[in-house]
């Protein structure tokens, strides 16, 4: 990072809660609401925004939002990178500020998914129709198979999946914006309907609806706009390299290597000059309970196999040494794909500002981390500092 | 018998999957690709893949997937899915056999998976792996 590089801070956040809403409420309308909430939180108006980036997987072209937010002529970039969409959108907007395009940017993500597991088109991912027709192109299968392999390789028990999901719903119970607000015991989770072993229905996140937005400012303006701006120390995105085991892969090489998450996380820590050991509160992509477990290691927050001890000691719960997904994560909020990464960022911002309410972690954290991962092997991470 | 995709098999009887080997780096892909994912080489030659391997990971698809999935004749029943390590390449596949006995590392062998009748009434087939100890 060169000395001349502009600092970027988050000065406003807005969330349209995730869940199931009125069928007539569009994804884009939720995006507009989240945007207005973020602008109000920052105390700025839409006309002040010099650059916007939006992400949605299925609910329309984000730049259409200018029709309801105001036709100011602002440059507005659309992003569509699967579950990593919002992370990529954030990085894109931050780079626009660093490049001197603007000193104030809005990032928004929204989606309104139909019920049930995602359906994907083989052609969209470069595969033949056979791959979908014969029933191999289902994201939940991948998560189950990656979990099975990971737990086996590192000698971890399936029970850990139940512990992670139970923690997510305990956090959801404390979060007024969460979709799933009822705590469930490990036993209830372990004995629930099997979706794809080892995953039961409560160990997998559901596609949902919602929107999230943040306002970014160049560092020298942040203090004027926000009492406690949170510095976006770095944001990074990576696609998969050869050998990674990713969603929608008909084949793998025999020497399986690191995932896109490993690369995105190491790049972001390097750019932020922060070590994973410095992280005091984290958000990790928990499309399923197992994903939270292996993403802890892939992002460098712990060693492979160390998860059992950390989770048994409660270290990833809000009161622990390394709180993970304190708003309940994807498991308790569901996943509107385009918005999910911004929900993560908002949770960390609230934690670093000390305004996370009942789920506030006890020792005022100063370093936070977010990580998203999506098909067909993309990851985006941020380091946020108080 | 017709393959669900003409690129999947190098032969149907006996069944062998069709891979491609990169002339530059030796990487084996499945199915055939025109470019190498490892070295970006563009000279790849067709190669039949091994019909035996070991189970690398597995799960069961317990709910009926949305389209473009097509159920087998007779409707949806839960089915096994896994990755099978063939030595040169690890291949994703439908699994036949009792999931209760699936275990990482167990020997597997290739078999045909009848899907549905084709336009002329002959069966359309894909591929699957089953535990090597089981009868076809």
The pLDDT of residue A173: 98
**H or E element at residue B129:** strand B123-131
**pLDDT for B97:** 96
What local confidence, expressed as pLDDT, does residue A1 receive? 44
Per-residue confidence band for B107, with pLDDT thresholds at 50, 70 and 90: very high
Residue B89 belongs to some domain of the structure: yes
Shared-domain flag, residues A215 and A260: no
* Inter-residue contact B9 to B17 (CB < 8 Å): yes
Same domain, A216 and A238: no
Domain-located, residue A168: yes
Q: What angle do CA A179, A82, B34 make, to 5 degrees?
A: 155
| pLDDT band at residue A82 under the 50/70/90 scheme | confident
CA B14/CA B20 separation, integer angstroms = 19
To test the contact with chain B by mutation, choose from A134, A136, A147 the residue with the greatest count of B C-beta atoms within 10 A, namely A134
For residue A122, is it within any domain?
no
pLDDT value of position B98: 95
pLDDT of residue A4: 57
CA distance A134 to A105: 45
Res B136 pLDDT > 70: no
Average pLDDT (A336-354) is: 97
Q: Which residues of chain B are within 8 Å of residue A239 when distances are taken between CB atoms?
A: none
Residue A131, domain member (yes or no): no
Residue B49 in this model has a pLDDT that exceeds 50:
yes
Token pair in block for residue A30: 């939720």
Across A1-5, B78-82, B117-121, the highest mean pLDDT is recorded for B78-82
Could you tell me if A192 and A58 lie in one domain? Answer: no
Instruction: Report the domain count for chain B.
Output: 1
In order, the DSSP letters of A121-159 are -GGGGT--HHHHHTT---HHHHHHHHHHHHHHHTT--TH
Same domain for A321 and A237: yes
Residue B136 domain flag: no
> Per DSSP, which regions of A219-270 are E strands?
230-239, 251-252
pLDDT of residue A104: 98
Q: How many CB atoms lie within 10 A of CB B9?
A: 23
Please tell me whether residues A190 and A270 are part of one structural domain: yes
Reading the block at residue A257, the tokens are: 């290597």
Q: What residues make up the domain containing A341? A: 138-203+230-385
| Whether B125 contacts chain A with CB within 8 A | no
DSSP-derived secondary structure letter, A186: H
pLDDT tops 50 at residue A254: yes
Q: What is the pLDDT of residues A185-199, one digit of tens each?
A: 999 999 999 999 999
Tokens for A265, please give them: 């996380």
CB of B134 less than 8 A from some CB of A: no
Could you tell me if residue A237 is inside a domain? Answer: yes
Domain assignment of residue B116, given as a range:
2-131
Give the pLDDT mean for A257-275: 96
* Whether residues A179 and A297 fall in one domain: yes
Q: Which residues of A touch B63 (CB under 8 A)?
A: 117, 195
Please give the pLDDT value at position A3. 46
Q: Is A325 left (phi over 0), alpha (psi -120 to 50) or beta?
A: left
Alpha-carbon distance B135 to B126, whole Å?
A: 19
More confident residue, A363 or A322: A322
Contacting A residues, span 103-162, partner chain B, CB-CB under 8 Å: 116-117, 119, 121-122, 128-130, 132-138, 141, 144-146, 148-149, 152
Summarize the confidence of residues A240-244 as an average pLDDT.
93
Clarify whether residues A179 and A289 are in a common domain: yes
Task: Return the pLDDT at A115.
Answer: 85
At which residue do the structure tokens 């359309």 appear? B124
Domain assignment present for residue A126? The answer is no
Q: Is residue A129 part of a domain?
A: no
Question: Which of A190, A225, A260 is the endpoint of a domain?
Answer: A225
pLDDT confidence of residue B135: 60
- ipTM associated with this complex: 0.95
Residue B112: which pLDDT band, with cuts at 50, 70 and 90? very high
Interface test with B, best of A116, A121, A135, A200 (most B CBs within 10 A): A135
- On whether residue A343 sits in a domain, the answer given is yes
> How much is the mean pLDDT over chain B?
94
Q: With a cut of 90, say whether residue A84 has pLDDT above it.
A: no
Q: In this predicted model, what pLDDT tens digit does every residue of A34-60 receive, in sequence order? A: 999 999 999 999 999 999 999 999 999
Q: What is the mean pLDDT of chain A?
A: 95
Evaluate whether residue A127 is within a structural domain: no
> Does the N-terminal peptide bond of residue B68 adopt cis geometry, omega within 30 degrees of 0?
yes
pLDDT higher than 50, residue A221: yes
Q: Kindly state whether residues A178 and A271 are assigned to the same domain.
A: yes
Nearest-10 crossing angle of helices A139-153, A289-298? 60
Among candidate residues A195, A225, A255, the one where a domain is terminated: A225
Kindly report the backbone phi and psi dihedral angles of residue B6, in degrees, each rounded to the nearest multiple of 5, phi listed first: -65, -20
B71-93, pLDDT tens digit by residue? 987 889 999 999 999 999 999 99
Average pLDDT over residues B25-51: 95
Measured in whole angstroms, the distance separating CA A129 from the mean position of its chain's CA atoms is 30
Average confidence (pLDDT) over B10-22? 96
Give tens-digit pLDDT for A122-165: 998 889 999 999 999 999 999 999 999 999 999 999 999 999 99
Residue A2 has a pLDDT of 44
**Strands, E assignment, chain A:** 8-19, 51-55, 76-79, 104-112, 194-196, 199-200, 209-218, 230-239, 251-252, 281-283, 367-374, 378-385
Instruction: Let me know if A129 is exposed, middle or buried by CB neighbors in 10 A (0-12, 13-18, 19+).
Output: middle
In this structure, what CATH number is given to the domain that contains residue A68?
A: 3.40.47.10
Please give the distance of CA A165 from its chain centroid, rounded to a whole number: 17
Q: Which long-range contacts (CB under 8 A, 24 or more apart) does B7-16 make?
A: B7/A128, B7/B31, B7/B32, B8/A130, B8/B126, B8/B127, B9/B127, B10/B46, B10/B47, B10/B48, B10/B49, B11/B48, B12/B112, B12/B125, B14/B51, B15/B51, B15/B110, B15/B111, B15/B112, B15/B127, B16/B48, B16/B49, B16/B51, B16/B110
pLDDT of A300 strictly over 80: yes
> How far apart (Å, rounded) are the C-alpha atoms in residues A56 and A24?
18
Q: What percent of chain A has pLDDT over 70?
A: 99
Q: In the beta sheet, which residues pair with residue B109?
A: B52, B130
Whether residues A220 and A252 fall in one domain: no
Q: Of the candidates B31, B81, B104, which has its C-beta nearest A141's C-beta?
A: B81
What's the domain count of chain A? 2
Same-domain pairing of A196 and A341: yes
- Predicted local distance difference test score (pLDDT) of residue A342: 98
């Amino acid at each position: 990072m060169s000395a001349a590089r502009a600092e970027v801070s988050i000065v406003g956040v807005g969330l349209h809660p995730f869940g199931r809403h009125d069928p007539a409420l569009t994804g884009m309308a939720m995006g507009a609401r989240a945007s207005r909430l973020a602008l109000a939180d920052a105390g700025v108006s839409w006309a002040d925004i010099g650059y916007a980036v939006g992400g949605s997987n299925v609910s329309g072209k984000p730049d259409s939002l200018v029709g309801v937010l105001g036709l100011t002529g602002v440059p507005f970039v659309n992003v569509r990178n699967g579950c990593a969409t919002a992370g990529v959108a954030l990085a894109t907007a931050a780079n626009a500020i660093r490049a001197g395009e603007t000193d104030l940017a809005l990032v928004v993500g929204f989606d309104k998914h139909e019920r049930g597991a995602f359906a994907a088109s083989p052609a969209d991912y470069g595969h033949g129709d056979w791959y979908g027709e014969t029933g191999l192109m289902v994201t939940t299968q991948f998560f189950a198979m990656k979990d099975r392999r990971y737990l086996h390789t590192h000698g971890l028990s399936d029970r850990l999946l139940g512990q992670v999901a139970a923690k997510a719903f305990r956090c959801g119970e404390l979060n007024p914006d969460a979709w799933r607000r009822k705590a469930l015991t490990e036993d209830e989770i372990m004995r629930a309907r099997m979706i794809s072993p080892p995953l039961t229905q409560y160990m997998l996140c559901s596609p949902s609806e919602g929107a999230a937005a943040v306002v970014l400012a160049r560092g020298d303006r942040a203090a004027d706009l926000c009492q406690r701006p949170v510095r976006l120390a770095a944001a990074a995105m990576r696609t998969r390299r050869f050998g990674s085991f990713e969603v929608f892969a008909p084949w793998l090489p025999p020497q399986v290597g690191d995932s896109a998450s490993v690369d995105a996380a190491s790049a972001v820590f390097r750019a932020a000059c922060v070590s994973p050991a410095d992280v005091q509160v984290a958000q990790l992509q928990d499309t399923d309970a197992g994903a939270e477990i292996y993403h802890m290691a892939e992002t460098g927050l712990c060693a492979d196999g160390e998860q059992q001890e950390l989770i048994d000691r409660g270290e990833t719960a809000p009161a622990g040494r390394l709180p993970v997904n304190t708003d309940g994560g994807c498991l308790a909020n569901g996943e509107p794909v385009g918005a999910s990464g911004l929900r993560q960022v908002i949770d960390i911002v609230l934690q670093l500002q000390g305004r996370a309410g009942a789920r506030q972690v006890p020792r005022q954290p100063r370093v936070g981390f977010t990580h998203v991962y999506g098909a067909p092997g993309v990851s985006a991470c941020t380091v946020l500092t108080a | 018998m017709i393959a669900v995709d003409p690129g999947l098999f190098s032969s149907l009887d006996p069944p062998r999957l069709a891979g491609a080997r990169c002339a530059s780096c030796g990487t084996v892909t499945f199915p055939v690709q025109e470019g190498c994912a490892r070295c970006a080489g563009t000279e790849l030659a067709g190669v039949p893949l091994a019909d035996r391997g070991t189970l690398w990971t597995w799960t069961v698809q317990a709910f009926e997937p949305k389209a473009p999935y097509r159920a087998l004749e007779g409707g949806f029943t839960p089915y096994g899915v896994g990755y099978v390590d063939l030595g040169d390449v690890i291949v994703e596949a439908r699994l036949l056999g009792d999931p209760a006995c699936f275990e990482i590392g167990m020997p597997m062998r290739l078999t045909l998976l009848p899907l549905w009748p084709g336009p002329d009434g002959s069966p359309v087939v894909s591929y699957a792996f089953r535990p090597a100890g089981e009868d076809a």
